[in-house]
C-alpha cells in the first residue's frame, strides 16, 4: 500500500454532489454547478490525490437553458458513467423548487470521448431530481431518480424510482416503479446502483444535504428488490459529531486497477464556532472496503469522514499548478471562470473588442435572475485574496462595475466604481443581505484612469482595498462578515458557494464598457 495520504477535500470550494468514474487508468469526478454556466464540472486524476479541471460538457444554450431560474436552481447532481463505448452524462435542470413542487427536467447526453463533443440532450422525465444511469450486467440500461410526491399527507421524497432506458430509441420504456422507499433517515435522494459479487447495491443520500446528511447502502439479489438496508446504517455521516468534514453524504463509489475501493462524497467545512460554510459544499474521498458480510465500510473504522486517508497503490501523477494571475489575452475565458445562467456572448462580454482586456457591457443588477454581466471564480480557501485592474468611466450613478464577493442574488459584497453628480467618478462599497443594501463607508472620489480593486478573506473576515493606477493600496476600514456568503444564511436553504466576481451594471441607454486587464487569486498561509 502507498504511504502517501490524500488530503480532504480533494475538490475544495463549491463542488457538490460528486459522481465518480474510472475508465482504464483514468478517474473522473463530475459535480453540480446549479445556476452557473457552463453546466457540470468534470475533474480528472490518475492517482486520486491530484486532480485537474478537464471539461464542462453543458457548454451551449441548447444543452442548458437556465434563463430566469432563481438561485440554487439549475444543474443538480449529475451522474457520469461509461458502458465500454460511450460516456453518459445524466443531469437535472431544476427550474424551481418553491412550495410543494419541484419543476425539474432530466436529460441525457453522451460522447465517445470525455472531452466531447457531447450529443444534443435527450429529455428523460420530470418526476424527480438526482437522476443516474445504471448499466446492468445483461446490457440493459436503467434510469434511477428520487420521485417527488407533493400530495397532502405524503412524504415529499417518495423513494427511488427506476425506469428502463432504450439507447436505440433514445427514450425511456416501460412503466416506472419505486424500488426503494428509503430508511428511517428519510429524504432519500442521490441514487447510484452497483453490481458487485452477485448483489445489486443501491447507494443513496439521506437526511437532507445539511448537517444530518448521510450515505445509506441497501442491497438485493434482484434488480427490482426488495432492498435490504445495511444493518449499521448509515455507512457514512457526520451527524452528531465534531468531525472537521461536516454534511458528509451523497456518495459515489469507484475501484482502482489494483482492486482498492474509494468513496467520493459531499462535505462542508464550517467556520470555527459557527455552522456556516462560506466555501459551500465540497468533495472529499474516503478509502473503503467490503467486509465479510458484503457491506461497505470505511477503512479507518466507524462511519465518520476523515481529513486524511491512505492513497491507493498507484504511481503519483501531478498536474501543472494553476497560475495565480491570469491576463485576458486570449479568445476564451480562463477555465476557472463561469457565468450566471447563460453562455458569454459578444453582446455583453468580449475578449477581442479591446485586445488584452475582458470587456463587459453592463446589464441588470446583482439581484436579478436574468441578464447579468458577470464572470466568477470559486473561492476555495478560507484565507485568500483577489485582485483586478479596471478601466471604467461612468457618467451616471446607474452605471457601475467592479469586484464582488458573491454568493447569490441575496448575499454579496461589492466594491464598485460608479458616479455621483457632485463628485464625478467614485468608489462605493455596497453590502447586500437578503435584498437589503447598505453602504458602510462614504463614497470615495476617484481620478480618471485605471484603478486596482482587491479583496482579502481571512476566515469570517472580508476586507476590500483599492489603489489608483500604480499607487499604494488603501485598505477600507469595515471588517465585513464573510459568513453571510454561506448556504445556511437566508430564508431557505441554498446549495452553491461563494465566488469572487467581475461584473458591470448599466440601467441607462448609453453603453459604457468596463475593461478588466487581469485577475489574480492567491491562497494565503
Instruction: Determine what percent of the chain falls in helix, strand and coil, rounding each to the nearest 5.
Output: 0, 50, 50
CB 407 within 8 A of CB 384: no
Contacts 24+ apart (CB under 8 A), 222-229: 223/136, 223/142, 223/162, 223/179, 224/162, 224/177, 224/179, 225/179, 225/180, 227/179, 227/180, 227/200, 227/202, 229/183
**Cα angle value 271/275/280 (rounded, 5°):** 70
- Of residues 351, 134, 158, 359, the one with CA closest to residue 253: 134
What CA–CA distance (Å, rounded) separates 439 from 437?
7
What CA–CA distance (Å, rounded) separates 238 from 11?
18
Q: Which helix (H) or strand (E) holds 215?
A: strand 214-220
Q: Which of 4, 177, 371, 433 is catalytic?
A: 371
For residue 340, what is its C-alpha cell?
Answer: 450566471
What DSSP string runs through 311-376?
A: PPSS-----PPPPSEEE--SSS--TTEEEESS---TTTEESTTTTTSEEEE-BS-TT-SS--EEEE
294 Cβ neighbours under 8 A, 6+ residues apart? 197, 199, 219
CB 179 within 8 A of CB 147: no
DSSP code of 59?
-
Would you call 241 exposed, middle or buried from its count of C-beta atoms within 10 A (0-12, 13-18, 19+)?
middle
- Of residues 30, 435, 19, the one with CA closest to residue 251: 19
For residue 341, what is its C-alpha cell?
Answer: 445562467
The verdict on whether 228 is a catalytic residue reads no
What CA–CA distance (Å, rounded) separates 426 from 136?
63
List b or e across 196-235, with b for residues whose CB sees 16 or more CB atoms inside 10 angstroms: eeebbbbbbbbbbbbbbbbbbbbbbeebebebebbeebbb
Sign, CA torsion 513/514/518/519: negative
Sign, CA torsion 60/61/67/71: negative
For residue 80, what is its C-alpha cell?
Answer: 457520469
User: Which amino acids are annotated catalytic?
Assistant: 371
Amino acid at each position: 500500500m502507498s504511504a502517501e495520504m490524500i488530503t480532504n477535500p480533494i475538490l475544495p470550494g463549491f463542488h457538490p454532489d460528486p459522481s465518480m468514474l474510472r475508465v482504464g487508468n483514468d478517474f473522473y469526478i463530475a459535480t453540480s454547478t446549479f445556476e452557473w454556466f457552463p453546466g457540470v464540472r468534470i475533474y480528472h486524476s490518475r492517482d486520486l490525490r491530484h486532480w485537474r479541471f478537464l471539461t464542462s460538457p453543458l457548454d451551449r444554450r441548447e444543452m442548458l437553458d437556465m434563463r430566469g431560474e432563481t438561485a440554487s436552481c439549475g444543474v443538480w447532481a449529475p451522474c457520469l458513467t461509461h458502458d465500454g463505448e460511450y460516456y453518459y452524462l445524466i443531469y437535472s435542470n431544476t427550474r424551481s423548487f418553491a412550495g410543494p413542487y419541484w419543476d425539474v427536467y432530466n436529460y441525457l447526453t453522451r460522447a465517445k470521448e470525455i472531452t466531447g463533443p457531447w450529443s444534443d440532450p435527450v429529455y428523460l422525465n420530470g418526476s424527480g431530481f438526482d437522476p443516474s444511469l445504471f448499466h446492468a450486467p445483461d446490457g440493459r440500461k436503467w434510469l434511477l431518480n428520487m420521485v417527488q410526491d407533493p400530495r397532502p399527507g405524503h412524504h415529499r421524497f417518495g423513494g427511488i424510482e427506476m425506469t428502463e432506458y432504450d439507447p436505440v430509441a433514445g427514450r425511456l420504456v416501460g412503466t416506472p416503479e419505486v424500488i426503494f422507499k428509503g430508511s428511517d433517515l428519510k429524504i432519500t435522494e442521490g441514487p447510484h446502483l452497483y453490481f458487485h459479487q452477485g448483489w445489486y447495491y443501491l447507494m443513496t443520500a439521506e437526511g437532507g444535504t445539511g448537517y444530518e446528511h448521510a450515505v445509506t447502502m441497501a442491497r438485493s439479489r434482484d434488480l427490482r428488490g426488495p432492498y435490504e438496508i445495511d444493518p449499521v446504517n448509515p455507512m457514512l455521516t457526520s451527524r452528531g459529531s465534531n468531525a472537521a468534514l461536516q454534511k458528509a453524504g451523497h456518495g459515489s463509489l469507484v475501484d482502482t486497477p489494483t482492486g482498492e475501493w474509494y468513496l467520493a462524497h459531499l462535505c462542508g467545512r464550517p467556520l470555527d464556532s459557527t455552522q456556516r460554510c462560506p466555501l459551500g459544499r465540497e468533495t472529499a474521498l474516503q478509502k473503503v472496503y467490503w467486509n465479510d458480510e458484503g457491506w461497505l465500510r470505511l477503512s479507518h473504522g466507524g462511519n465518520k469522514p476523515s481529513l486524511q486517508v491512505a492513497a491507493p497503490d498507484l504511481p503519483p501523477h501531478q498536474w501543472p499548478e494553476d497560475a495565480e494571475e491570469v491576463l485576458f489575452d486570449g479568445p476564451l475565458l480562463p477555465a476557472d471562470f463561469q457565468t450566471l445562467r447563460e453562455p458569454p456572448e459578444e453582446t455583453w462580454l468580449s475578449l477581442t473588442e479591446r485586445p488584452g482586456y475582458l470587456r463587459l457591457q453592463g446589464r441588470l443588477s446583482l439581484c436579478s435572475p436574468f441578464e447579468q454581466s458577470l464572470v466568477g471564480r470559486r473561492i476555495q480557501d478560507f484565507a485568500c485574496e483577489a485582485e483586478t485592474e479596471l478601466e471604467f468611466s461612468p457618467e451616471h450613478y446607474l452605471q457601475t462595475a467592479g469586484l464582488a464577493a458573491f454568493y447569490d442574488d441575496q448575499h454579496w459584497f461589492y466594491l464598485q466604481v460608479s458616479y455621483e453628480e457632485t463628485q464625478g467618478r467614485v468608489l462605493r462599497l455596497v453590502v447586500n443581505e437578503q435584498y437589503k443594501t447598505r453602504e458602510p463607508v462614504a463614497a470615495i472620489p476617484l481620478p480618471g484612469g485605471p484603478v486596482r480593486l482587491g479583496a482579502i478573506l481571512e476566515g469570517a473576515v472580508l476586507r476590500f482595498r483599492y489603489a489608483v493606477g500604480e499607487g499604494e493600496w488603501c485598505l477600507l476600514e469595515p471588517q465585513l462578515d464573510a459568513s453571510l456568503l454561506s448556504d445556511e444564511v437566508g430564508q431557505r436553504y441554498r446549495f452553491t458557494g461563494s465566488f469572487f466576481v467581475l461584473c458591470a451594471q448599466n440601467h441607462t441607454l448609453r453603453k459604457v464598457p468596463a475593461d478588466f486587464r487581469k485577475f489574480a487569486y492567491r491562497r494565503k498561509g
